Amino acid sequence: MTTGAIRACLCLCLCAFGLALSAQDGAVADKPPAEVAALAERHQRSRTLRGSFSWLVRPILGPVDPARRARSGDFAFAVPASYNIVVRDGADGPVDRWCSDGKARWEVSRLSPGDPADVRGPLAVDGGDADYRRVIACLRLDLDQLVRDHIPTWRGQERVLELRPREKDAGARGPQVAAIAIQLGPEGDPQRVDIDHTDGNRWAVEVTRLERDVALPPELFSPPLAQPR
């Protein structure tokens, strides 16, 4: 065997070894693996989604400030594009709400539950609510939307779907998404969503309740402030 042939064989062996290591660490591809795709297909058959969560903005690295506490919230979604997210800061603290009926969107805030609502909208459905739609997409396991802009990595042993942006938006203002990790439970439902941003902060969303195909009133997706039940 010639020297060139030996080198070629060594290169092929090293490539195969590298691919084996990658397969052990996680399956990386433009499309999610069959197991995740099957779970997502089951989720997409649901016409509505409703649940509760805790939401904490914390550093990606380093300890969490003890004074910073998680906010509680509720969310709802109805096919094709209606959503409602309510976030509360304690029983008597501020209440923020983002909602859309698919044709327009609103942003609602209250300093306390008994105060009059400050309503912004109707606003155009123009991407200004991309952060909140992304959270809903993660909770729905909407792979069509998520994989469009992110490269998926399935860490099977941990049951974590990791997503990294396909490209950076050079013209974007403010922090961008650096990575997303969706922790799936034994039945395939999202239990936790971590969204890391380029400013070093993480949105840590812990799902505490999740219901599918429940009846949701249309007024839930537009003002006045309607609370999911």
**How many residues comprise the chain?**
229
| Contact status, residue 99 vs residue 84, Cβ threshold 8 Å | yes
Burial of 223 (0-12, 13-18, 19+ CB in 10 A): middle
Per-residue pLDDT of the chain (229 residues; tens, 9 = 90+): 554 544 444 343 334 334 333 334 455 556 667 888 888 888 889 999 999 999 999 999 988 888 788 899 999 999 999 999 999 998 788 899 999 999 999 999 988 777 888 999 999 988 788 899 999 999 999 998 999 889 999 998 999 999 999 887 655 666 799 999 999 998 889 999 999 999 999 999 999 999 999 999 999 998 865 444 3
pLDDT at residue 224 in the model: 67
What is the distance between the alpha carbons of residues 153 and 60, in angstroms, rounded to a whole number?
A: 19
| Contact status, residue 93 vs residue 104, Cβ threshold 8 Å | no
pLDDT at residue 212 in the model: 94
Angle at 99 between CA 48 and CA 126, to 5 degrees: 105
pLDDT at residue 134 in the model: 93
Residues in CB range of 128: below 8 A, 6 or more apart? 105
3-state percent breakdown (helix, strand, coil) of the chain, nearest 5? 25, 40, 40
pLDDT at residue 15 in the model: 40
Residue 97, SS3 per DSSP: strand
What is the distance between the alpha carbons of residues 38 and 43, in angstroms, rounded to a whole number?
A: 9
Cis bond upstream, residue 94 (ω within 30): no
pLDDT at residue 203 in the model: 95
Burial of 46 (0-12, 13-18, 19+ CB in 10 A): middle
Q: For the full predicted model, state whether its pTM sits above 0.85.
A: no
Q: What structural domains does the chain harbor? A: 27-221 (2.50.20.10)
